[in-house]
Amino acid sequence: MKNTIPAKVVGLEVGAVSQTLDARWLMAYAAGLGETDPRFYDTQGPNGPLAHPMFAACYEWTVALTLRSKTLRPELLPLGVHTSHHLVIHRRPQASDRLLTRGQVITLAPVRSGALVVTRYSTVDRNGRPVTTTDYGSIFRGVTCEGETSAAVPPLACPTLPAGDQVRWSSAVPISAQADAISSPSFSTRRTGASLSICSVAALSELAQLLKRISRSIATFRACLRMPLAMPIFFQNPPTPHRIATLTRRAPPLFRARLRCDKLI
């Protein structure tokens, strides 16, 4: 069937993929998330900048793309929804680490809304010592599968919850009204050394409105295209500093159309 994931994908493995970390990559990811803790940017420490707890997603990404291309048909990929993320940090990654990451499909199961696929990403250092292990779950909506199948792998360890109503830690987290429209967190790319963010439709709309205001005041600023992948816009004597960088190539059609700047000179 066209929208069916076969059971044979369970157990399929790719890797190991080797990647070398550096201080710039660690700092770019932290900056993309808006982190202000100086430890994330301390290049003078013995191990360089502190790695963000979710930094594992960066070096797992290449393996994830390869594994998806080998297990899922392209037309099924847009139907996937990230539904679970179990990360075990054996030790924090460090600048100058050379890491080896493997990916393996470990679970395929039918659920009410589609098919659940769980992938395990196992990362070790150059000496074979574990660094991080992630079980990444996605539900492919409207997709069926050939029954429930699991690979013979041990489950990841789970923390022991405190007894009773004891609270170990709490923190208030502000959530905007547009949060439900944001589908992906920030991520960093090695290719440009920059930190990028997947924007929601609401965020794109705000940028489009800003560009319209810029067009109406074209005599007050200069735009300069410096790189094939980025478009810095500079203002003359703005009331507040602004800098907009947007992809101009290999961007989704909606992104490209919303941020067109053909009239800017």
215 part of a folded domain: yes
- Mean pLDDT in runs of 10 for the chain (265 residues)? 87 93 94 92 92 95 94 92 93 95 96 95 96 96 91 86 74 75 48 38 61 58 37 44 43 41 39
CA distance 127 to 124: 8
Residue 113 and residue 50 share a domain? yes
Per the structure, the count of domains in the chain is 2
Instruction: Look up residue 159 and give its two tokens.
Output: 């923390």
**Is 169 among the domain residues?**
no
CATH code for position 114 = 3.10.129.10
The pLDDT value given to residue 69? 92
What does the pLDDT read at residue 30?
93
Per DSSP, which regions of the chain are E strands? Answer: 4-5, 13-20, 80-89, 98-111, 114-124, 130-141, 144-145, 149-150, 187-188, 195-196, 221-223, 233-235
> Same domain, yes or no, for 140 and 209?
no
Q: What's the pLDDT score for residue 217?
A: 56
Predicted local confidence at residue 160, as pLDDT:
75
Least Cα distance to 59 among 92, 20, 86, 31 occurs for: 20
Q: What is the pLDDT of residue 23?
A: 95
At residue 173, the pLDDT reads: 76
pLDDT at 180: 64
> Does residue 94 share a domain with residue 35?
yes
Give pTM, 2 decimals. Answer: 0.65
Q: Which domain holds residue 222?
A: 199-258
Q: Are residue 15 and residue 120 in the same domain, yes or no?
A: yes
